[in-house]
Amino acid sequence: MNILIMGMGYVGVTTALLLTELGWNVTGLDPNESRIRMLSQGVLPFYEPGLDDALRKHLASGGITFTSEVDMAVCDNEVIFLCVGTPSGSDGSADLRFIKEAAESIGKNMPGYRLVVIKSTVPVGTNEQVVQWITQAQLTAISFDVISNPEFLREGSALRDALEPDRIIIGSENDQATERLRSLYEKLSCPVVVTKPKTAELIKYAANAFLATKISYINELARLCTKLGVNIADVAVGIGMDHRIGAHFLRAGIGYGGSCFPKDIHALLFTAQEHDLSLTILEKVVQVNQSQAVYYLDIWEQLLGSFNGKTIAVLGISFKPDTDDIREAPAIGIIAKLLKSSAVIRVHDPVAKLPGSMYSEQLQQFDSLEETIQDCDAVILCSEWKPYITADWGQLKSLLKQPFLLDGRNMLDGAQLTSQGYHYSGIGMNW
Ligand code: UGA
User: Dmax of the chain from CA atoms?
Assistant: 76
* Cα end-to-end distance, the chain, whole Å: 58
Atom of ligand 1 nearest to the CA of 255: 33
pLDDT for residue 289: 98
- Ligand 1 atom with the smallest distance to the CA of 153 is 7
CA distance 348 to 339: 16
Contacts of 340 (CB under 8 A, 6+ apart): none
> How far apart are alpha carbons 274 and 167 in whole angstroms?
30
Q: CA 379: distance to chain centroid?
A: 25
Q: What is the DSSP string of 183-226?
A: HHTTTS-S-EEEE-HHHHHHHHHHHHHHHHHHHHHHHHHHHHHH
Residue nearest to atom 23 of ligand 1 (CA): 256
pLDDT by residue for the chain (431 residues), tens digit each?
899 999 999 999 999 999 999 999 999 999 999 999 999 999 999 999 999 999 999 999 999 999 999 999 999 999 999 999 999 998 989 999 999 999 999 999 999 999 999 999 999 999 999 999 999 999 999 999 999 999 999 999 999 999 999 999 999 999 999 999 999 999 999 999 999 999 999 999 999 999 999 999 999 999 999 999 999 999 999 999 999 999 999 999 999 999 999 999 999 999 999 999 999 999 999 999 999 999 999 999 999 999 999 999 999 999 999 999 999 999 999 999 999 999 999 999 999 999 999 999 999 999 999 999 999 999 999 999 999 999 999 999 999 999 999 999 999 999 999 999 999 999 999 98
Alpha-carbon distance 273 to 227, whole Å? 36
d(CA 186, CA 64): 19
Active site residue 376: no
Helix (H) or strand (E) holding 372, with range, is helix 369-373
- Find the catalytic residue in 75, 83, 190, 260: 260
Ligand 1 midpoint to CA 249 (Å): 8
What are the CA-CA distances from residue 412 to residues 59, 234, 352, 382, 429 (Å)?
A: 41, 15, 21, 12, 10
Residue 431 has what pLDDT? 85
Q: How far apart are CA 301 and CA 404, in angstroms?
A: 11
d(CA 221, CA 212): 14
Distance, in Å, from the CA atom of 162 to the CA atom of 185, rounded to the nearest integer, reads 11
Question: How many degrees, rounded to 5, is the angle at CA 301 between CA 298 and CA 304?
Answer: 155
Sheet containing 114-118: order of strands: 64-67, 25-29, 2-6, 79-82, 114-118, 144-148, 168-171, 192-195
Which of 15, 202, 211 is the best mutation target for the ligand 1 pocket, counting ligand atoms within 8 Å of the beta carbon and taking the most?
A: 211
* CB-defined site of ligand 1, < 6 Å: 121, 151-155, 208, 211, 215, 249-251, 253, 256-258, 260-261, 319-320
Q: Which atom of ligand 1 is nearest to the CA of 253?
A: 33
The reply to whether ipTM tops 0.95 is yes
The protein residue whose alpha carbon is closest to atom 3 in ligand 1 is 154
d(CA 173, CA 170): 10
Q: Give the three-class secondary structure for 404.
A: strand
Pairs from 179-185 (Cβ < 8 Å, separation ≥ 24): 180/79, 180/115, 181/79, 181/115, 181/117, 181/147, 181/149, 184/1, 184/3, 184/19, 184/22, 184/24, 184/79, 185/22
Q: Which of 298, 212, 282 is nearest to 251 (CA)?
A: 212
- How many angstroms from the chain centroid is the CA of residue 240? 23
Rounded distance from Cα 371 to ligand 1 centre (Å): 30
Model pTM?
0.97
Alpha-carbon gap, residue 54 to 333, rounded angstroms: 34
Q: How many other C-beta atoms are found inside a 10 Å radius of the C-beta of residue 210?
A: 12
CA of 162 relative to ligand 1 center, distance in Å:
15
Does the CA dihedral 324-329-332-335 come out positive or negative? negative
CA distances from 228 to 214, 379, 431 (A): 21, 25, 11
d(CA 350, CA 24): 35
Q: State the closest ligand 1 atom to the C-alpha of 248, by its place in the atom list counted from 1.
A: 36
Assign 3-state DSSP to the chain and report helix, strand, coil percentages, each to 5: 45, 15, 40
Q: Which of 46, 120, 152, 154 to mutate to test the pocket of ligand 1 (most atoms within 8 A of CB)?
A: 154
The atom number, within ligand 1, closest to the CA of 251 reads 36
- Among candidates 51, 47, 49, which has minimal Cα distance to 13? 51
How many Å lie between the centroid of ligand 1 and the Cα of residue 353?
Answer: 20
Closest residue to atom 20 of ligand 1, CA basis? 154
Question: Which domains are assigned to the chain?
Answer: 2-195 (3.40.50.720), 211-425 (3.40.50.720)
